[in-house]
Amino acid sequence: MVLSAAGCSSSGEAAQTPGLADRGTVLTTVKPARQDLSNKISLAGKVAINPVFGVVAPADGELRWVSRSLPKEPDDTPVWVASVWHGGIPQRVEIPAGSVFAGRLMDDHATVTKGMPVVSATHSGYGIVADIDSAQAYRISGAVRQVQAQIKNGPGPFRCAALGTIAALPAGVVPAPLTTTTAPAQGPSAAPAPDQGSPPDSSSAGGSEPTGMRLVCVPPASVKLINGADVTIELVTDKASKVLVLPVEAVAGSQGRGKVDLVVGEGQTRKTVDVTLGISDGKVVEIKKGLKGDETVAIPGPNLPTPAVTQ
């Protein structure tokens, strides 16, 4: 009878760990492909009354608030609330028709950059609000081309007009109105001193509460809405035709700049290269620059390791 001992090897053989490949070994690869691409994102929202949204600076520059009092009722035309001055040229900051000024998000004379939220406004009436998490934010940060909504067990799908920015908003401040005081007379026959206006008090009551990142949109007036009803929202931020794409798992990064690992040589070694990214549908991402299309790309991409969970 011949017996064999499992797990034993001759002294000349190197011990191998079963089930594990050598560090750096490429297990899965993919080649870039060309296809039509649409950046569609689905969000869960709710119907809300008088939702607050943010309006952004139209350019880099210095923010200057208008000195006149603002309407307390919604107007049927946009309302000018501030200007951003750059190179001696002002650009208006306006809140949309049908909304009311809610609060200043930046101080007068503050230096702002294009796209920064500077004022909050309240839409008068029903709107739809959907919270956005950080994983979705950069896919939505461009201009929203189209928003469709459908109320659970209710009307839809229908177009929904996006309002303002998706960025989180700090608390908005409504300055106190100018107050008029009369200086005391210096003598029995002295004339009263001229009136002096007190500067606005930024700590006055009122204003808007801070918000997280969210999308606010307004449905057509013909749609029957119930406050608090659940809504599914689908939005499209961009479309592209016959663009070069890779699976998102092969790319480190998801917007702007990214990196991929090319598989090169007979040794199947990795070479990390920079790429410029375009739109994504969540499954594939557009490669705008950095690849020709005939490369072999490793999966997964060269992402930074996920931090360990601390107990």
Query: Distance between CA 93 and CA 307 in Å, rounded?
Result: 41
Quickly tell me which residue has 């919604």 as its tokens: 74
Q: Cα Rg for the chain, rounded, in angstroms?
A: 29
Inter-residue contact 120 to 208 (CB < 8 Å): yes
pLDDT in tens, 119-149: 999 999 999 999 998 878 877 866 677 899 9
- Among left, alpha and beta (phi > 0; psi -120 to 50; other), residue 26 is beta
Instruction: Say whether pLDDT at 276 is over 70.
Output: yes
Average pLDDT along the chain: 83
What pLDDT does 148 receive?
94
Q: Which CATH architecture has domain 55-124?
A: Beta Barrel (2.40)
For the stretch 233-245, pLDDT in tens is 998 878 889 999 9
What are the boundaries of each domain within the chain? 28-37+242-299, 55-124
Give the model's confidence band at 200: pLDDT under 50 very low, under 70 low, under 90 confident, else very high. Answer: very low
Give dist(CA 102, CA 222) in Å, integer. Answer: 27
pLDDT in tens, 34-57: 999 988 889 999 999 999 999 999
- The residue that leads in pLDDT, 274 or 193, is 274
- CA dist 250 and 296 (Å) reads 11
The correct CATH number of 28-37+242-299 out of 1.20.810.10, 2.40.420.20, 2.40.160.10, 3.40.640.10 is 2.40.420.20
> What are the φ and ψ backbone dihedral angles of 136, each rounded to 5 degrees?
-95, -20
More confident site: 179 or 64: 64
132 φ, ψ (degrees, to nearest 5):
-125, 130
Residue range 260-268: average pLDDT? 87
- pLDDT single digits (tens) 63-98: 999 999 999 999 999 999 999 999 999 999 999 999
> Taking residues 260-285, what's their average pLDDT?
88
Q: Are the beta carbons of 54 and 246 closer than 8 angstroms?
A: no
Nearest to 270 by CA among 32, 20, 28: 28
Mean pLDDT of 299-306: 78
